[in-house]
Structure 1
Amino acid sequence: PGNEGTQMRILTAVDGTRYLVCSGLIICPEQCLTFVSAQSLDGLFTDRALRLRDALLGQTLALAVAALLALLLCRRMVRPLEQLEAASREIAAGAYDRRTALPGSDEIAGLSRSFDEMAAAVQDKVNALQEHIQQREDFIAAFTHELKTPMTSMLGYADLLRGTEVPAATRQKAADFIYHESKRLEALSGRLMELMQLNGSEPPSLEPVRLDGVFRQLTRALPQTPPALLVPDCRLTVLAQRELLCDLLYNLALNARHATPPEGTITLETAEQPESVILTVRDNGCGIPAGDLPHITEPFYMVDKSRARQQGGSGMGLALCERIAVLHGTHLTFESSPGAGTAVSFTLPKPKEADHETA
């Protein structure tokens, strides 16, 4: 039968119920005893099935939550890219002021900042181009108007002279008008060519220039007729292109003469600063209304068109002066009031070394 202590375990099913049957053998002197124990395993299998179901349910829920979190994370990561794409489409459609301004310090936020900087650069370029186009259109319109008025009058006088016999006084008046307007148009074309050359030129090479020499040249170039030009005794040196500086001061002084009566005065002033010199052309003439000040450096702009044309003005002088000032890295500033005169100032740097000066 077997040895004492032998154990056997059998898993069996009876009527659909699973049992664990254990048996053991005990040998006594007179007989052998066999112990048999049977225990139902349905509860154990049921518990295992429940645990397995709970585990599968938990894993399913965990996978669902993980998938949801992954979806939300992907949406969060993709949303800035969608905003960048939408912004790029709007900019391509003409909304150059569109910005993304995404917060954060990650790579996408860095891309957003770079994108906004690019959009700002594009907007600046487009605005500059639009401003340039508008200025060109205004320039052409003003130039056409400036040509149309004298040309119409000149054609009328010329037709009068060739068509009929006219008195000598009328003939002389017509000839004088045609000559005067022709000279004005000649001066206008010269100023226009000069302005076009300056607009297309690079900033000049600046060198030390003694102002007293420039002032002497200016005094010789201006007409020796009233109003008087008062020039200071100045030995300062500035960084400039000499000929352009002379043209700038000459045009400012000539413009002041047109606005100042013979009994008035035009004063050239200098104010030394630690690293620069402020030059001012001041007159006590008719002055400029406040509404005209923002426009007086525009080509062909005239405060008093009839007076300017009588004096041979073309409205180009201050435009040339402003362009020369810009080429020197500065701008013209105006202080004026009607009846009190006008002061036009600009600033030039002083050389760091005054060893080589052009007198």
Structure 2
Amino acid sequence: MKLFAKIFLCAMIVLSIALSLSGYLLITLSYKNAVDQETQRTMDQYQYIKFLLQADLLNRRDQTDKNNLSDPISASFSKLAGQNLPGLSSGGNYISVFGEDKMSIYSTFPSNPDFNISDYDLNQKIVNKIEQIGDRTYVLVLGKITQSGQTVYLLTATDIQAVIDQKEEMVRNYGTIYFVTIGFGIILVMIFSALLTGPIQKMSAAAARVAHGNYSERLKVFSNDEMGELSRRFNTMAETIEDRIAELSNAAKQKEDFVSNFAHELKTPLTSVIGYADMIYQNPLSREDTRKAAAHIMDEGLRLEALSLKLMDLIVLNRQDFILEELPADELLQNIADTLRPLLLNENIKFKLETVKAYIRVDYDLFKTLLLNLVDNAVKAGSAEISLTGEITANSYRIGISDNGRGIPADELDRITEAFYMVDKSRSRKQHGAGLGLSLASKIAQIHGSRLEFESVQGKGTTVSLPLPLEGGGLGA
């Protein structure tokens, strides 16, 4: 059962019970008070008439034959009736007198009622009851009177049919009021239930949309009550979920980037390793050349081992505080040239290296990855000649890589360092490119306090420059 139906049914049950109980108590108490008043009035009437009757009988005890009770009693009541006393003359108030034989000897009822006092417990001092006599209802007070050796039973009655009719009228009127109130109650409870369950339904719908992936879903807050507070808590929860999903998505993307970048960075070193291994295997080399080739293989293997951890720190943990060491720039660039030798020989590309001796502060593994990426892009650009230069300019050591390949369109130069961006997508797919090399190279350049500078003419080639802080230069020059 839905909440709307539960609220509606509970409210209507409570309203119906409250109205019924209050109506019952109101009508019952009103009727009881009216009957009590009529009963008291009848009791007062009984006592008054009893007093008058006893007094009159006392005065007549020597004037009447004691064996004939009818004459003095009838005479007494005739006298009392002639005095227009209360209880004998007012409408709806009646008396009857019964002899010891319980037969009626005097009555003011408009007709002789079918009434038998033998049905009552005459041993009680006074009997007080409500009886239906004919089509009327009466409050009856019956008592035994003994005076001067004479015994009679006095019955006083008050017609309370008007009270009964009033009670029935109250029941009818209250029934009308009850159903009208219930009708209005149904309308009000439906409105109240709709106001109460409306925000809950909206919240349920919003929660369903969040469950289907719409994490930006929010509720409008219209009040400061409990529902308003619940809406605010829902919005806070949705924001937390959205942030957590964004974090998880970012973490997943970082892991994907790491895997893609690491796979990308494996190609050039593996080409170098395979090239030098093939050189050792295919050609008879001197011991010195063999040692050099083995040294390159070992160097690339150790670099790849260290590079995997550093790429994890850089891409997944977004670490920037790598330790930079002072290294001779010319030896570093020569090492890169030696690493590229098998790749360049395989592609029949002429390579030129021109360096000036100086010291620069770099992370060896990351910086070598940066330069290998730049040379690899030059190779993929269809270059026949590639040059790697290192020169001192002002207070910086500028490393440049130039090629005579396809070049880059001027309107795309600003975007080439974006992750997964590829100038020629079809060519990059054929060469198994993912558009990650320059994005990673740009991050590494930032770690070294520098940035990549591109100059390119479409169809003629590209030059990439990387200025680094100079730690010392001109050594041995």
TM-score, normalised to structure 1, is 0.48
Q: Flag the structure with more relative contact order, 1 or 2, with Cα contacts below 8 A and sequence separation at least 6.
A: 1
